[in-house]
Amino acid sequence: MAAASAVAERMSVPTLDASLDALVAILVAGPDVKSVPDLAGKTIAIDDRYSESSISRVRTAMAAAGANEVQLSKSQASAISRLVAKEVPAAVVGLVSASAAESFPELARLRTFRVPLSSRSANKQP
- Report yes or no on whether pTM surpasses 0.85: no
- The class (CATH top level) of 2-116 is alpha beta
Task: Name the residue type at position 44.
Answer: I
Q: Closest Cα to residue 100, out of 114, 90, 110, 79?
A: 114
Tens of pLDDT, residue by residue over 88-113, are 999 999 998 888 888 888 888 899 99
Mean pLDDT of the chain: 83
Residue 17 has pLDDT above 50, yes or no: no
**Spans of all domains in the chain:** 2-116
Beta bridge partners of 114: 26
CA distance 95 to 58: 9
